[in-house]
Amino acid sequence: MELEKASARLAPRSPWQAVDMGTQMFRRWAWPTVRIWLAFTLLPFALLLGLASYQESWWPLVLFWWLKPAWERPLLAWYSHALFAEELSLSQLFKRWKQYALPGLIAQLTWRRLSPSRSFNTAIWQLEGAQGDQVGQRHQVLHRAPSTRAGMLTLVMFHLEQFMGYGLLALVYTLVPWQFNLEMSDWFFEQSVLQTAIASSCLYLVLCITEPLYVACGFALYLNKRTWLEGWDLQLGLTRIGKRRKPAGVALVLLLGLLALPAVEPAQAGNSNHEDLHVEQQQVIELLASDDYMPFETRTSREWKDRDQDAQDSSWWQKLWEWFFDDLEDQMDSAPNKPFQIPDNLIWAVFWALFAGIVLWLLLKVSSQLGFSGTRRKAGHAIPTHVAGLDIRHHSLPDDIANAVDSALQQQDIRTAMSLLLRVSLATLLREYPVPLAAGSTEQHCLRTLQREHGNAAGIEVLKPIVNAWVRTAWAHRPVGEDEVRGLLNQWQALRFVEVAHG
């Protein structure tokens, strides 16, 4: 890699500045990259769209989406050459396809397909040609903190794709004449073939923009990480100095000096002088092995790692206070004219608390919508304690119903007798045939629900005249005759006797 040929300034940047550089790369080479995207994907997309329309299925289009890592390979190949002043032609890209497209492609299309760092990782396979264990080691090195933000880039791009896609779709639906009878609302429920084709084409058009941009940004993040790790900016600077200060011996000395810099990490084996490295490694090993370097000590108590004694002594709220307001003092010092300065940490704490609250609220909302909340209906219906205002709990009923009814009848209290009979029948039936009842359920509603859920079982058949007699007694103020109450009681007792006899 000839870094001096790079058409972008290779300097250590923050991840978002690197993404900005990727955006600039896309803006500069927008047409060539879009052309490459179209050359490699238009035909497959058209075929898959045709298949999707023919089969009235979404699967061919899902397949196109799934193969995105494969479609991105030519773009990365082109960017990686274009940055170093070599613009590949389409025919060259087609000819070299096997070389750059196949390494690691199977992994990217299977277990690594949903990796959020795809834009970044593709370079490890495609540009470095890493294989087997090397891939894992390179991942470890390149993904070391600080974060590359490749996952965040994917998230942002995903949203950009969705917004642009739906925006374009809405525009199309707005412009389509009404005679075509296209309703945007139908799109969410049942789509015709035409609607599927329109939606897919809109998404494809959006991808023509977002995919080259996504690959460029991922590539820029990759370059940035390597610049940080391998000091490409220093290397370039020293090279330039070396060129100015000929003879070449001076440059060589400076280059050796660069290799000796402690902050510069050799991210790729084989690029430096092996003998010098060997000597330095020996020195480091001896230093690490000496007793003076971080002597071992044995501790038996449990304690937090990397926490000094002072921190352990202070309570949690003191630490929180310091965390919130230590920065404020610094900020007040630096900006004395802003008396209402709010500490950054406090803003972040509020932000995260709000975020967590919203997520929790959404989860609760979704779970209640799906019926997963704590009020989930139990497998069996709970036996109600009251039906139509009548207490049907076991302990509220007399042990000997026949005697209690008899005694009420002797006192000419038909209402009490009927009430007892109804309560005991409901209590017994609802234990045997549980049904969902609410506080507003009336006697007749209870009867209808029992009939609907359990048919005309013998007990339910007996309940019917009891409810009718009770309704007449309670709401028409026309108590049924004593004989009728006794008859209903006998029917009920006979039924219970038969049930008990049958076990």
Partner 1 sequence: MSHPNTLQEAAALAGEIEQRLNQVLIGQQQVVREVLIALIAGGHVLIEGVPGLGKTLLVRSLGKVLELDFNRIQFTPDLMPTDVTGHAMYDQKTEQFRIRRGPAFTQLLLADEINRAPAKTQAALLEVMQERQITIEGKAFSLNEPYMVLATQNPLDQEGTYPLPEAELDRFLFKVMIDYPDHGDETRLVNMVLDGTIRSSLDVESLTPATDGAGVMAIRSLSDSVLIDPEVLDYALRIVRTTRDFSGLSHGASPRASIALARAGRVQALVEGRDFVTPDDIQQVARPVLRHRIQLSADAEIEGQTPETVLGRLLDQVEAPRQ
Identify the residue among 80, 419, 425, 428 touching partner 1 (CB under 8 A).
419
Residue type at position 414 = I
Binding status of residue 435 toward partner 1 by CB under 8 A = no
Write the Ramachandran bin of 413: left for phi over 0, alpha for psi from -120 to 50, otherwise beta: beta
**Interface with partner 1, residue 442, by CB under 8 A:** yes
Nearer to partner 1, 28 or 415 (CB): 415
Indicate if the alpha-carbon torsion angle 267, 273, 274, 278 is positive or negative. Answer: negative
Smallest distance from partner 1 to CB 387, Å:
8
Binding region for partner 1 (CB under 8 A) out of 119-127, 156-164, 322-330, 436-444: 436-444
Name residues contacting partner 1, limited to 257-286 (CB under 8 A). Answer: none
| 35 Cα distance to chain centroid | 34
388 binds partner 1 (CB under 8 A): yes
Q: Which is nearer to partner 1, 128 or 443 (CB)?
A: 443
Tokens 């609302």 found at: 185
Measured from the CB atom, is 374 or 440 closer to partner 1? 440
- 475 lines the binding site for partner 1 (CB under 8 A): yes
CB burial of residue 176 (10 Å; 0-12, 13-18, 19+): middle
CB atoms under 10 Å from CB of 207, counted, come to 21
Q: Among 41, 87, 93, 82, which Cα is nearest to 63's?
A: 41
- The one among 19, 101, 169, 390 contacting partner 1 by CB under 8 A: 390
Under the binding rule (CB under 8 A), the answer on residue 439 touching partner 1 is: yes
Long-range contacts of 30-35 (CB under 8 A, 24+ apart): 30/212, 32/78, 32/82, 32/87, 33/75, 33/78, 33/79, 33/212, 33/215, 33/216, 34/208, 34/209, 34/212, 35/90
Number of shown-chain residues binding partner 1 (CB under 8 A): 21
Q: How far apart are CA 135 and CA 129, in angstroms?
A: 9
- Identified binder of partner 1 from the candidate list 145, 438, 500, 501, rule CB under 8 A: 438
* Residue 474 in contact with partner 1, rule: CB under 8 A: yes
415 binds partner 1 (CB under 8 A): yes
Residue 471 as a binder of partner 1 (CB under 8 A): the answer is yes
* By the rule CB under 8 A, 157 interacts with partner 1: no
Among 317, 389, 483, 500, binds partner 1 (CB under 8 A): 389
CB-based burial, 220-234: b 16+ in 10 Å, e otherwise:
bbbbbbbbbbbbbbb
Using CB under 8 A, which of 127, 428, 443, 463 touches partner 1?
443
Rule CB under 8 A: is residue 425 a binding residue for partner 1? no
* Segment lying near partner 1 (by CB under 8 A), choices 59-67, 207-215, 219-227, 383-391: 383-391
DSSP single-letter state for residue 188 = T
User: Which CB, 229 or 488, lies closer to partner 1?
Assistant: 488
Alpha-carbon span 86 to 77, nearest angstrom: 11
Q: Which stretch binds partner 1 (CB under 8 A): 57-65, 121-129, 381-389, 486-494?
A: 381-389
Which residues sit at the interface with partner 1, rule CB under 8 A? 387-390, 415, 419, 438-445, 471-472, 474-478
